[in-house]
Amino acid sequence: MQVKRQVDPHAWDASKLWNVGLYQLFEWLDNSNLPSGDLDHALKRKLKTHERYNGLHSQSSQQVLEGLATAFNNWLESDDDRDNPPSYRKQWYHDSEGRLVHEEHPRSTVTWKSTAIRHDEQNHRLRLSKGDNHKSSPGAWEYILVHYEKPEHYDLGEISEVRAVWNDGSYEIHIVHEVEIASESPGDGVAGIDLGICVPAAVAYPDEAAIYPGNTLHEDRHYFTREEYQTEGGNGPSNRAQRARETLSRRTTDFRHKLSHEIAETCAEKGVGRVIIGDLSGVEDDDWGRHGNKMLHNWGFSELSSLIEYKCRERGIEVELKDERGTSSECSRCGHEEDSCRVERGLWKCSSCGTVIHGDVNGADNIRQKAISVTPPLAEVVDSANGCVAQPVVYLFNRTRGFQPRHSEGSCKPKHSNSASESPNNATPEAGSPPL
């Protein structure tokens, strides 16, 4: 509670500094006087003497303005009319007649850089510099003292950043530090990853295929989104709506972290030294209509891809992004390409060789084969036609235990059939778009 009382004024000042900087940017833009070059440098020079700047440590204030300048530049450079400029961090509350009752600032994330951090590793304590406005006198050596817990074997080493993030009624302290990357690769195997919506990840490992359904997260998204809208107050978001939004955000983050950890760990165990992820940047830029665009925005492919990348690199595994165009319409066994082979969302049946496999696994194996520089004809690639690709392992998500394999009986031999009714047990049809 003591930490919360000391961090609160800094989190509110971070929001106020953001608003001051955003007002300045819009003023420059309206007067056709937007500085050329780096906007963050121009903002820092302009606001260095502003009272809100001194509400945080100087480097913390610089971090706020750098983030604002990046967001503003991204909006200016965007060629998508749907994109909106950065918004003010303030909430207005009105009565039933539309009159302003009060306004308040949300708590923004506060970032301390290395010069504002003192680390007592022996006693598990951090000292974070206060802004001058919150000291008993300017220049006084006053800190926010934070205690943390960590596993005994875990070495934080040199800390580069500490962030105070407001989440679900309390602050989370995020410690950013350097981690030594494994110098040796786990092996020379290659894995391909196909990212999607119904199935967030399908992975073609060197010796088997696996799919990671998003059923639990879909249920959370449906329930908490409905909860948020049904409890939205007439004067702004209610506490219950806010809690629903925060719970969904926390569970989504937890799902992505556990999924990326599971994939990285499995790759290391299977001797994978190189991971190829299907690049979805082109898909995210396309217009899939209101419903499709919302689905893409909510799912966060870029974030999941980044999490997989850094967790793989920690284990000495190289990660590449490859254009995935054509991977969903081409047979990973014989190379035949035909859009109509995708009978349903989870069913892919080749009209040439008769192979029946999970559609996302087919895409993942095609992505994997993009990374293999020298290969025989696809029809002769034995490890792409084995039964484990035809009938992948399904890993179901549990919030307590993480991802666990679903045990099922059945042959792991490849399926060859002329009948679309012989669908794999793991086929999971999806209705709607976009086609991921």
The pLDDT of residue 297 is 62
- What integer pLDDT is reported at residue 10 of this predicted model? 95
Other C-beta atoms lying within 10 Å of the C-beta of residue 122: 6
**Which of 263, 254, 303 is closest to 281 using CA atoms?**
303
Per CATH, the number for 189-416 is: 3.30.420.140
Upper half-sphere CA count for residue 178 (Cβ side, 13 Å): 5
Instruction: Give the residue extent of every domain in the chain.
Output: 1-178, 189-416
The per-residue pLDDT string of the chain (436 residues; one tens digit each, 9 = 90 and over) reads 678 899 999 999 999 999 999 999 999 999 999 998 889 999 999 999 999 999 999 999 999 999 999 999 999 998 888 889 999 988 766 667 777 666 777 889 999 999 999 999 889 999 999 999 998 887 788 899 999 988 877 888 889 999 999 887 889 999 998 877 777 889 999 999 999 888 899 999 988 889 999 888 888 888 887 777 776 655 556 677 777 888 888 889 899 999 999 999 999 999 999 999 988 776 656 666 666 666 666 677 888 999 999 999 989 999 999 887 777 778 877 777 777 666 776 777 788 877 778 888 888 888 888 777 544 333 344 444 445 545 688 888 888 888 888 764 444 434 444 433 333 344 443 434 343 4
State how far the Cα of 225 lies from the Cα of 118, in Å rounded to an integer: 41
Residue 299 CB neighbour total at 10 angstroms = 22
Pairing mode, strands 347-349 and 355-358: antiparallel
Helix, strand, or coil (residue 129) = strand
Cα-to-chain-centroid distance, residue 332: 29
- Cβ contacts of 355 within 8 Å, gap of 6 or more: 331, 333, 334, 349, 385, 390, 414, 415, 416
Nearest Cα neighbor of 296 from 187, 149, 166, 196 is 196
DSSP bridge partners of 210: 203, 393
Residue 102: predicted pLDDT = 64
